Structures are given as structure tokens and as C-alpha cells.
Amino acid sequence: MAPPGALGRLSLALGAAVAALGSLLLVAWRACSPSAGRWGARWDPPAGQLDFSMRQVLVLGLDGAGKSSVLHYMASEAAKDRTAPTEGFNSVQLDAGGFQIDLLELGGSQNLRFYWNQYLSQAHVLVFVVDSADGPRLPTACQELHCLLAEDQRLPLVVLANKQDKSDALSVAELHQELALHTLNGQREFFLLPTSATHAALATATGIWRVKSLLVELLSQL
């Protein structure tokens, strides 16, 4: 019979081997499993970047800009006929293969905008959604956006020029001007993408897929 000390060392070594094998199997399962969904399967991160922590994307913008619609589209790969205004917050999780993305929308009505800046410090990326066809409220959108940017100098910014399907939608170049985005001057990572969260856009537009891939890219760098 082995002495008690040797037996202890043997069981420790066995335990470590089983734990290492378990981790390896988990990593392999996360990378290959179809149950991770199309999203997980499509966005397997480069080797060495696997990590299962949650990354938060804060999704803001005036009421009616299309935040909930874009999130629904991203999560379910389908457009929604109706969305109710978000009274508090709305959260959607996506599996990016190596990590989870938590997209947190805060309602955009005036009384809720007061709370927006309290969520900046927990976020890894700020997504700001604009209704490209809502010309009269673009100055308000611009003002709210720049208030947020003044509060936080570090967050990468992704502006979505939403509702591009509308005939009176401003182009990305026009929105760049209207939202005074030239004033950012390379202080932070910044992107402006056209999107449309409609049934018709499902068949043709690639905007929202580009948003997903950009978020994965930005969050993978953390």
C-alpha cells in the first residue's frame, strides 16, 4: 500500500489532469458546438482570444430611433412589426463564440435620458442609434450624443444611421455633418454605419450584420 503522502500527491495530480481535460473539452465545445447558434458559429474568435466573460454594449439614442428594433433584429435575425417604447431598459445577449455580448438599451424618452450617463462606466462600447429620417430632432440627438461623449473620453463609439429604407432618410455623409462627428478628431475609435431594421432589409441589407461583426471585432480587442 502506498504511503498517505504519495497517495495525496497522486490524487492531486489526477484531479489537475481531469480539470485540464474538462477545460479543453469546454473550449472545444464552445468553438464547435452548433448549439452556440449561427451567431456563435459564425464568429469564432481567433485562437488564443477565447474568454467567457461578458462584454457590455450600451445602446442609446432618442426615443423612436430604432434601438429595440435593431436589438431584436440582431438577436433573432428577424424584423418586428411593432415595438413598444422602452420604459426602462431592454437587454439582449449574444453569444460571440468566445465571449458573451450584453447589449443594454436604455429607453430614449426625455425623462430616461437623465440616467444614460450612469451606465457609461460599465460599458465597453457605446452604440448611438439615430433615426436618419427624423430631421427636426437631429439637433437634439446631436446634443445628447455630445453630452455623453463629454462624460466619457474613452469608449469606442458606433453611430447607427438607422431607417435608411425611408425615402427622406439623410445619407451617412449628411448625418456625419448634422451630428458634428468631425469634432471627434480621432480622440476615440469611431464608426458610422447605415442600418435598417425592417422585413425588406432582411433579404438585402447587410448593415446589421456589419454592426455585429464590428462589435465582435472591437470587443475581441479587450
Ligand X SMILES: Nc1nc2c(ncn2[C@@H]2O[C@H](COP(=O)(O)OP(=O)(O)OP(=O)(O)O)[C@@H](O)[C@H]2O)c(=O)[nH]1
Interface contacts to ligand X, rule CB under 6 A: 61, 63-69, 83, 85-86, 107-109, 129, 162-163, 165-166, 196-198
Q: Helix or strand or coil: residue 7?
A: helix
User: Is 162 near Mg ion (CB under 5 A)?
Assistant: no
Cell readout for 186 is 480621432
165 contact choice in Mg ion, ligand X, none (CB below 5 to 8 Å, kind-dependent)? ligand X
198 contact choice in ligand X, Mg ion, none (CB below 5 to 8 Å, kind-dependent)? ligand X
Closest to 56 in 3D by CA, of 138, 136, 126, 152: 126
Q: Is 203 exposed, middle or buried (0-12, 13-18, 19+ CB in 10 A)?
A: exposed
Q: Which residues contact 213 (CB under 8 A, 6 or more apart)?
A: 43
171 contact choice in ligand X, Mg ion, none (CB below 5 to 8 Å, kind-dependent)? none
Nearer to Mg ion, 67 or 113 (CB): 67
Nearer to Mg ion, 63 or 152 (CB): 63
Closest contact distance (angstroms) between CB of 178 and Mg ion is: 22
Closest contact distance (angstroms) between CB of 114 and ligand X is: 13
> How many alpha carbons lie under 13 Å from residue 159 in its C-beta half-sphere?
30
User: Is 86 near Mg ion (CB under 5 A)?
Assistant: yes
Closest contact distance (angstroms) between CB of 173 and ligand X is: 19
Helical H runs in the chain? Answer: 4-32, 37-42, 67-76, 110-113, 138-151, 172-178, 199-204, 207-220
Q: Are 71 and 104 in contact (CB under 8 A)?
A: no
Cell readout for 31 is 468553438
Taking CB under 5 A as the criterion, which residues in 54-73 touch Mg ion?
67-68
Q: Near Mg ion by CB under 5 A, which window of 72-80, 81-89, 94-102, 129-137?
A: 81-89
How many chain residues bind Mg ion (CB under 5 A)?
Answer: 3
210 contact choice in ligand X, Mg ion, none (CB below 5 to 8 Å, kind-dependent)? none
Binding site for Mg ion (CB under 5 A): 67-68, 86
